[in-house]
Amino acid sequence: MDLSSLGKPKEKNGSSDPTRGLSPRTKGISNDPQYVAYGWREIPVPVIAAGHGVIFGGGLQLFSGADVKYIHPTTRCAVMEMKWGLVPDMAGFPLWRENVRGDILRELTYTNREFSGKEAAELGFATHATETPFDDAMTLAKTIALKNPEAMRGAKRLFAVQSHSTDADLLQAE
């Protein structure tokens, strides 16, 4: 991440342009670092992630953007940004809101407490905790690849609007 944009001075009138730094490829809803994680949601096919080792901070947010997430039970995870005086700012909040309870997310954000891959699956950060995350992700990818591609893209479009649409809008999208 390019940290040179942090702490830029405000414009002369004392306010900042709210659209400054927003990426045109996101239709103006996010900046480029946010799009790194949130962009997975706009890809018209399922995105499958396999996590192993350490998934901290922006890595957790990037992992969270996938549609289906496999993680090794001993993977070390944390919402780490507060350790450096930052807030999670790579689309974590819009990605987590469907999966992680608010009080749990607050506790993990405020404390930077590490949690395991097993706990990540229990809390909603991951879909499955497994000893073989990469192999399981590849098996799922092969299964999905055998499905009708138009139907798959249609389902992905519906998931993209599900969290922020009214029932009426979602029914029309179907």
CATH code, domain with 126:
3.90.226.10
H-run or E-run covering 48:
strand 48-51
When divided into structural domains, the chain yields a total of 1
Would you say 8 and 17 are in contact if contact means Cβ atoms under 8 Å apart? no
Residue 88 lies in a domain: yes
Residue 14 lies in a domain: no
Q: How do beta strands 115-116 and 128-129 pair? A: unpaired
CA 122 to chain centre: 17
Does the pLDDT of residue 7 top 90, yes or no?
A: no
Residue 111 lies in a domain: yes
Does the pLDDT of residue 6 top 50, yes or no?
A: no
pLDDT at residue 98 in the model:
85
Residue 15 lies in a domain: no
Query: To which residue do tokens 């591609």 refer?
Result: 149
Polymer length of the chain? 174
Residue 155 lies in a domain: no
Residue 127 lies in a domain: yes
Per-residue model confidence as pLDDT tens digits over 40-53: 888 899 999 999 99
Per-residue model confidence as pLDDT tens digits over 82-129: 999 999 989 899 999 989 999 999 999 999 999 999 999 999 999 999
CA 54/CA 16 separation, integer angstroms: 36
Residue 50 lies in a domain: yes
Residue 173 lies in a domain: no
- Of 99, 27, 103, 89, nearest to 67 by C-alpha is 99
Per-residue model confidence as pLDDT tens digits over 138-154: 999 999 999 999 999 99
Domain ranges, residue 105: 30-147
